[in-house]
């Protein structure tokens, strides 16, 4: 068996893990982001300034390294990781409360009352930015880690049915992209219902270029592939093109606030087609029933047909984005939003259980109803956790005047308490800080994804990942991530946004 065949076999025929374990892993970065914010507030009280190197090191160690160890050597101890971060975070929060510079003599009940009347302000929603960055960073770690033996096979992409940590990647990316799509942000308008469709037709050309480029490179160097993921020629970029254009067409016809109806309709009708037509047999066995890959459809049947499920996920993301980006100011309003999203996520997890028992197990390969529900439920759980985590962080900022935490809500006075309020946002905090890895990755997310794919390929070509020791694998993974993050960080410091459309 050749090295290529061995690597392909290493990531094939896997059945995944439990929904709970994947959810625990996804929510760990939320605690890391909260801990990082509390650490920055405390460090600003003890030290007035930070260099870009020290800030990058803090962000990398607190945000990225936990992802690497969670997906490798500490994969069986995620609960204890949660507990450890919560304990250290609670100690930090207590220290900040004792060192508070605002409302020193005021009882905690009164402080909470004032905080709830305070307003949030930000050019973008920090929770949405963090959601997109968490998904990108997790994907970047996983696409290389999966080739090493220290990566648990239960986290890898599943073959037919089941849920693996890596199965969330594409679905989460589609959901995150939908939340900030032009239709949600009302970025462009000329009065025409089909304006966004025309903009989408123009904006997908880089994706066409990237999709074709990836196909040519992979085939020319005979790189290992998981054939049942998308097919022979299809890849993630082609899926994104089809989803984006289809969704733009649907949003040109139907109202934005009815996106959830479209999402449910598509996912249910698609599941009915899988159950009562030959569609499922076509995906699994091809037109001849023997797994043929002859012809464009047979060769890429998984990638082409699964677009239906990803369109449903995208429309659910559009509905979520339109809800989250509504005009709100007060803290208590955002707490209600977080709780509403959390309750929706819990309801969807309950629906997922029923669907998997009564209808069909989740399948990444088909992107069926259960898979769509799982992706949306997990995305909403992550988003609500980020909103609640940022609220806690904002309360810590509320207690300590003139502190600056990048990629978090900025606090302003409530109009109702403007006359008597004794807390104001500092002048420096009104400007977007530059020393932030989260902001850097969010700014050039596509470049980060491409860079991760390129460096993953280079590592696989230069290293025998299958037979690497644990220590060497950890060294390579951290070096790989620090290289990718540092390049993106430097681009951000140089105020560079790489965009071709």
Contact in structure between 174 and 240 (CB atoms under 8 Å): yes
pLDDT value for 193? 67
Q: List, for residues 406-461, the tens digit of each pLDDT value.
A: 888 887 754 334 443 444 444 444 444 468 999 999 999 989 999 999 999 999 98
**Measured distance between the N- and C-terminal CA atoms of the chain, rounded to whole angstroms:** 44
Which tokens go with 333?
């309003």
Euclidean distance between CA atoms 501 and 498, whole angstroms = 10
Q: List, for residues 381-412, the tens digit of each pLDDT value.
A: 999 999 999 999 999 988 887 678 888 888 77
Contact in structure between 344 and 320 (CB atoms under 8 Å): no
Say if residue 247's pLDDT is above 70. yes
Q: List, for residues 158-183, the tens digit of each pLDDT value.
A: 999 999 999 999 999 999 999 999 88
Question: Which residue has better confidence, 47 or 220?
Answer: 220
Q: List, for residues 279-321, the tens digit of each pLDDT value.
A: 999 999 999 888 889 999 999 999 999 999 999 999 999 999 9
Contact in structure between 41 and 183 (CB atoms under 8 Å): no
pLDDT value for 349? 97
Rounded to the nearest 5°, which phi and psi values hold at 100? -55, 145
pLDDT value for 419? 40
CB crowding 381-416: b at 16 or more within 10 Å, else e: bbbbbbbbbbbebbbbbbbbbebbbbbbbbbbbbee
Q: List, for residues 121-159, the tens digit of each pLDDT value.
A: 766 789 999 999 999 999 999 999 999 999 999 999 999
Q: Can you tell me the mean pLDDT for 233-237? A: 92
Contact in structure between 247 and 259 (CB atoms under 8 Å): no
pLDDT value for 104? 83
Say if residue 91's pLDDT is above 90. yes
Contact in structure between 70 and 78 (CB atoms under 8 Å): yes
pLDDT value for 62? 95
Contact in structure between 434 and 492 (CB atoms under 8 Å): yes
Say if residue 336's pLDDT is above 60. yes
Nearest Cα neighbor of 149 from 455, 501, 471 is 471
Cα dist from 376 to 28, 50, 102, 222, 404, whole Å: 18, 38, 40, 35, 32
Q: How many other CB atoms sit within 10 Å of the CB of residue 116?
A: 14
Q: List, for residues 115-126, the tens digit of each pLDDT value.
A: 888 887 766 789
Give the containing element (helix H, strand E) for 36: helix 19-46
Nearest Cα neighbor of 403 from 63, 34, 121, 38 is 38
Give the containing element (helix H, strand E) for 135: helix 126-145
Euclidean distance between CA atoms 178 and 103, whole angstroms = 41
Say if residue 265's pLDDT is above 90. yes
């Amino acid at each position: 068996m050749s090295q290529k065949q061995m690597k392909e076999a290493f990531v094939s025929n896997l059945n995944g893990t439990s929904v709970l374990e994947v959810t625990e892993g996804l929510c760990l970065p939320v605690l890391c982001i909260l801990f990082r914010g509390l650490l920055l507030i405390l460090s600003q009280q003890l030290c007035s300034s930070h260099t870009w190197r020290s800030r990058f090191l803090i962000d990398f160690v607190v945000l990225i390294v936990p992802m690497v160890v969670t997906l490798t050597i500490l994969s069986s101890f995620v609960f204890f990781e949660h507990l450890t971060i919560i304990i250290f975070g609670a100690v930090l929060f207590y220290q900040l409360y004792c060192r508070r510079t605002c409302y020193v003599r005021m009882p905690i009940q009164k402080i909470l009352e004032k905080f709830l009347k305070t307003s949030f302000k930000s050019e973008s929603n920090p929770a949405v930015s963090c959601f997109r960055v968490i998904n990108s960073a997790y994907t970047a770690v996983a696409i290389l880690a999966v080739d090493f033996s220290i990566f648990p096979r239960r986290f890898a992409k599943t073959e037919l049915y089941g849920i693996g940590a890596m199965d969330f990647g594409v679905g989460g990316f589609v959901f995150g992209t939908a939340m900030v799509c032009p239709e949600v942000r009302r970025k462009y308008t000329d009065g025409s219902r089909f304006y966004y469709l025309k903009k989408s037709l123009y904006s997908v050309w880089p994706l066409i270029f990237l999709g074709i480029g990836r196909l040519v490179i992979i085939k020319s160097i005979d790189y290992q592939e998981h054939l049942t993921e998308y097919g022979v020629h299809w890849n993630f970029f082609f899926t994104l093109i089809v989803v984006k254009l289809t969704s733009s067409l649907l949003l040109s016809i139907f109202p934005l606030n009815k996106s959830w109806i479209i999402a449910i309709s598509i996912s249910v009708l698609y599941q009915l087609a899988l159950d009562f037509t030959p569609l499922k047999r076509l995906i699994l066995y091809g037109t001849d029933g023997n797994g043929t890959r002859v012809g464009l459809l047979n060769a890429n049947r998984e990638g082409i047909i699964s677009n239906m499920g990803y369109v449903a996920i995208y429309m659910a993301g559009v509905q979520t984005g339109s809800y989250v980006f509504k005009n709100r100011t007060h803290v208590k309003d955002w707490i209600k939003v977080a709780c509403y999203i959390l309750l929706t996520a819990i309801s969807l997890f309950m629906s997922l259980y029923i669907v998997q028992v009564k209808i069909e197990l989740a399948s990444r390969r088909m992107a069926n109803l259960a898979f769509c529900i799982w992706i949306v439920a997990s995305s909403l759980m992550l988003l609500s956790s980020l909103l609640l985590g940022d609220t806690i962080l904002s309360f810590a900022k509320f207690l300590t005047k003139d502190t600056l935490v990048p990629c978090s809500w900025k606090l302003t006075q409530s109009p109702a308490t403007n006359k008597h309020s004794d807390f104001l946002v500092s002048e420096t905090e009104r400007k977007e800080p530059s020393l932030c890895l989260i902001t850097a990755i969010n700014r050039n997310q596509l470049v980060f994804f491409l860079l991760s794919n390129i460096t993953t390929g280079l590592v696989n070509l230069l290293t025998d990942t299958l037979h690497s020791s644990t220590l060497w694998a950890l060294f390579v993974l951290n070096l790989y991530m620090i290289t990718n993050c540092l390049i993106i960080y430097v681009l951000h410091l140089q105020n560079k946004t790489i965009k071709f459309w």
